[in-house]
């Protein structure tokens, strides 16, 4: 008798609850489980089409069923696990001996379970002895995380349960398209919509922006790259019109005077000339945000994935603090984490500057604590490494990384300036990729290790609310694939590392609890049993406590208990204006696809609905360029050229072109994006790159 497994979706950070029920395993043509939405506070039984179709990948014909080794003929051939792991360990030892431990790099992912993320960080530092580990969350959450840490002393995406939004009268969404990226989320916007208080800031008229139609709110469509100026203008109005919550600011923040001076010149008419947003709209929006209880400000990648993303997220936080929103019941500020475990993935040691529990790797106390848990001397833990883009830029370069282990990332689709990344991967002595499929990155590897999928494994994830949830196994994996915990343990053994590498997820979690104890992201009071009982577990959850669904009620996490207002300003060089003939490239997601599309492009229904990248152009722009809907076009700049078809739509500004970033090869939007990074967060500039669009003969 098959048993159902209550679990959560494999994709985004909403982590919708679902029930998987095993089906007739003898029928290889049908998915081995059925998927049903399950009631949970975030999704209330709802799933989007990605979640509904997620089981189709479990027995997809293209799923890898055995390790692959690149042979002398240059092709990938099936190998046994012993052959593959022996080869990897032997090669790593050789590279280390020749070039030193930092010649070995590890690239993790925000989709890994907490257990995998934790063990990967430990593996890199102890089994490989390298400081060169970072992960794809650098492309996703790093700016918001840096801003949250700077202002609040802690980075938890939503510092309150998602259900709190239900009672909001006003919600300001900055650069997030939740109606497509996490559709069940929009149920939490209904109250603000009904109150006419949903405000969406986005250069595109997205599905989320359309929720503001018919008097249900406001869509603000600024010039791409001017979000920071827009926020400085809102702060200016809030201060000038005495809309500041003076008591809150006096009692709970520092830095007001400096902030006040920094926005003095951002009067609404100046902001209008920069952003294109009318001064009157700006004033009305500021007044609406300050109109009383029930206001939330939420940011997403649209305003964060910039070279000034940290400062832009900081400005959003400044605005929220001036209005007295964070920590006050029924109001708040948050950032919407994207990847499935984007939150947990940034807490347990995958980041180059971090140890488990969100501890700083340079902090002697943090090092001593983690070293005790790991049973090593603190000196055995390498110091800080380099962030993702810098790590990738060093591939195969003198003094750089010569071998790379990739877990949960499709680098040649999702990285900025992917042509350069591809060249770097080609220069490596060894590329090892763990994946379910031969992704575009796995296809370049020397060794491909096939791994379990979500329905075949146990573990925990931490959703966008900072709530730890259980992933449960519904079916056994195919015979030829392995769990990444097992892979790490086997490699550590072959590398003669004497530290413990458990393969039982619950044991790994128990160790993670100890390692995180006393840190910012303290999981020490959480265990599998309580999660299995359905208890809500929001970190920080120190041992013996009841967890923390809502942060900041009494104090912020800085030593003085106050939040920091940080004066930020616009850097003219951050977003150069388009020259005649140029458009600003805006990238983003589609309802049907997730991240690099490595999974969703393999689901027939999703692929059929959105089989190709389309370059969205405004009718006036298309007219000027002589382009009609459906024409073949090239979108190009000095970094590369995307070849695709045009979609002519009023949903985009005339000065911009939109490309989804889910596609590969000649349709990879990241052929065009810059690997210039934010100086604080090391976030690359994904959102405002200058391009030219031309009509070309049929491809």
Q: Which residues bind ligand SF4 (CB under 6 A)?
A: 9, 11-12, 14-16, 43, 47-48, 50-51, 182-184
Q: How far is the CB of 300 from ligand SF4 (least distance, A)?
A: 14
Quote the crossing angle between the two packed helices 484-494 and 114-122, to the nearest 10°. Answer: 10
> Residue 509 in contact with residue 490, Cβ under 8 Å?
no
Q: What are phi and psi of 208, to 5 degrees?
A: -70, -40
Nearer to ligand SF4, 114 or 331 (CB): 114
Q: How far is the CB of 399 from ligand SF4 (least distance, A)?
A: 41
Q: Quote the CA–CA distance of 467 and 460 in Å, as a whole number.
A: 10
Nearer to ligand SF4, 51 or 547 (CB): 51
Q: How far is the CB of 167 from ligand SF4 (least distance, A)?
A: 22
Omega of the bond leading into 540 within 30 degrees of 0 (cis):
yes
Tell me the CB-side half-sphere exposure of residue 311, using CA atoms within 13 A. 21
Nearer to ligand SF4, 16 or 442 (CB): 16
Q: How far is the CB of 185 from ligand SF4 (least distance, A)?
A: 7
Q: How far is the CB of 183 from ligand SF4 (least distance, A)?
A: 6
> Residue 477 in contact with residue 66, Cβ under 8 Å?
no
Beta-strand relationship, 459-462 and 468-471 = antiparallel
Nearer to ligand SF4, 461 or 672 (CB): 461
Q: Where are the beta strands (DSSP E) in 558-670?
A: 563-564, 583-588, 614-617, 632-636, 641-648, 656-660
Best CA proximity match to 595, nearest among 249, 140, 243, 149? 140
Q: How far is the CB of 182 from ligand SF4 (least distance, A)?
A: 4
Nearer to ligand SF4, 15 or 337 (CB): 15
CA distances from 146 to 157, 309, 311 (A): 11, 9, 9
Q: How far is the CB of 9 from ligand SF4 (least distance, A)?
A: 3
Nearer to ligand SF4, 302 or 340 (CB): 340
Nearer to ligand SF4, 14 or 567 (CB): 14
The CB density around residue 179, as the number of other CB atoms within 10 Å, is 20
- Per DSSP, the residues of 28-96 read TTS-SEEEEE---TTTTT---HHHHTGGGGTT-TT---S-EEE-TTSSEEE--HHHHHHHHHHHHHHHH
Nearer to ligand SF4, 51 or 109 (CB): 51
Instruction: Write 75-84 long-range contacts (CB < 8 A, 24+).
Output: 76/438, 76/443, 76/445, 76/448, 81/482, 81/490, 84/447, 84/449
Residue of closest CB approach to ligand SF4: 51
Best CA proximity match to 601, nearest among 513, 511, 662, 670? 662
Q: How far is the CB of 340 from ligand SF4 (least distance, A)?
A: 7
> Residue 336 in contact with residue 189, Cβ under 8 Å?
no
Q: How far is the CB of 383 from ligand SF4 (least distance, A)?
A: 36
Nearer to ligand SF4, 12 or 691 (CB): 12
């Amino acid at each position: 008798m098959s048993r159902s497994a209550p679990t959560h979706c494999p994709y985004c950070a909403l982590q919708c609850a679902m029930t998987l029920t095993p089906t007739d395993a003898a029928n290889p043509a049908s998915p081995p489980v059925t998927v049903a939405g399950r009631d949970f506070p975030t999704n209330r039984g709802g799933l989007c089409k990605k979640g509904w179709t997620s089981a189709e990948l479990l027995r997809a014909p293209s799923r890898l069923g055995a390790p692959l080794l690149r042979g002398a003929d240059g092709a990938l051939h099936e190998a046994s696990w012993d052959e593959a792991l022996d080869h990897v360990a032997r090669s790593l030892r050789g590279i280390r001996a020749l070039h030193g431990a930092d010649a070995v790099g590890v690239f993790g992912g925000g989709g890994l379970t907490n257990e995998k993320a934790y063990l990967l960080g430990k593996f890199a530092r102890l089994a490989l002895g390298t400081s060169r580990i970072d992960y794809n969350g650098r492309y996703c959450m790093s700016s918001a995380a840096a801003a949250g840490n700077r202002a609040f002393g802690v980075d938890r995406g939503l510092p309150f349960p998602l259900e709190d939004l239900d009672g909001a009268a006003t919600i300001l969404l900055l650069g997030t398209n939740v109606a497509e990226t996490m559709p069940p989320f929009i149920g939490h916007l209904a109250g603000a919509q009904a109150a006419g208080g949903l405000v969406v800031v986005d250069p595109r008229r997205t599905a989320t922006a359309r929720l503001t139609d018919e008097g249900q709110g406001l869509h603000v469509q600024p010039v791409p790259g001017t979000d920071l100026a827009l926020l400085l203008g809102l702060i200016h109005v809030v201060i000038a019109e005495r809309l500041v919550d003076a008591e809150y600011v006096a009692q709970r923040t520092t830095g007001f005077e400096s902030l006040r001076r920094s926005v003095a010149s951002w009067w609404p008419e100046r902001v209008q000339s920069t952003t294109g947003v009318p001064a009157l709209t700006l004033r009305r929006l500021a007044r609406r945000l300050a109109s009383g209880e029930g206001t939330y400000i939420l940011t997403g990648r649209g305003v964060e994935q910039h070279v000034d993303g940290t400062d832009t997220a900081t400005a959003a936080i400044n605005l929220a603090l001036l209005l007295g929103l964070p920590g006050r019941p029924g109001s708040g500020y948050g950032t919407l984490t994207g990847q499935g475990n984007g939150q947990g993935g940034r807490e347990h040691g995958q980041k180059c500057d971090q140890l488990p529990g969100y501890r700083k790797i340079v902090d002697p106390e943090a090092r001593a604590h983690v070293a005790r848990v790991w049973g090593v001397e603190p000196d055995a833990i390498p110091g800080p490494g380099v962030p993702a883009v810098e790590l990738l830029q060093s591939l195969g370069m003198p003094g750089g990384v010569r071998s790379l282990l990739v877990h949960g990332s499709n680098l040649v689709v999702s990285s900025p300036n992917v042509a350069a990344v591809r060249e770097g991967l080609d220069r490596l002595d060894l590329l090892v990729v763990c994946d379910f499929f031969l992704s575009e990155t796995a296809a370049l590897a020397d060794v491909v290790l096939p791994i379990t999928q979500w329905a075949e494994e146990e573990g925990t994830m931490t959703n966008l609310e900072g709530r730890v949830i259980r992933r449960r196994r519904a079916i056994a994996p195919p015979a030829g694939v392995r769990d990444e915990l097992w892979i790490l343990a086997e490699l550590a053994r072959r590398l003669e590392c004497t530290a413990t590498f458990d393969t039982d997820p619950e044991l790994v979690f128990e160790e993670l609890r100890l390692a995180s104890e006393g840190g910012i992201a303290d999981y020490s009071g959480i265990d599998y049993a309580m999660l299995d009982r359905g208890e809500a577990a929001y970190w920080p959850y120190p041992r013996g406590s009841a967890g923390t669904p809502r942060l900041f009620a009494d104090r912020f996490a800085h030593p003085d208990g106050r939040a920091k207002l940080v004066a930020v300003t616009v850097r003219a060089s951050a977003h150069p204006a388009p020259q005649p003939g140029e458009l600003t490239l805006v990238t983003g997601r589609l309802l049907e696809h997730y991240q690099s599309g490595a999974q969703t492009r393999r689901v027939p229904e999703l692929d059929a609905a959105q089989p190709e990248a389309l370059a969205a152009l405004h009718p006036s722009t298309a007219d000027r360029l002589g382009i009609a809907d459906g024409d073949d076009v090239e979108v190009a700049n000095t970094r590369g050229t995307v070849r695709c078809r045009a979609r002519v739509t009023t949903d985009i500004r005339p000065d911009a072109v939109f490309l989804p970033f889910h596609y590969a090869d000649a349709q990879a939007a990241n052929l065009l994006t810059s690997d210039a990074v934010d100086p604080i967060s090391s976030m690359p500039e994904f959102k405002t790159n200058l391009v030219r669009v031309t009509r070309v003969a049929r491809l």
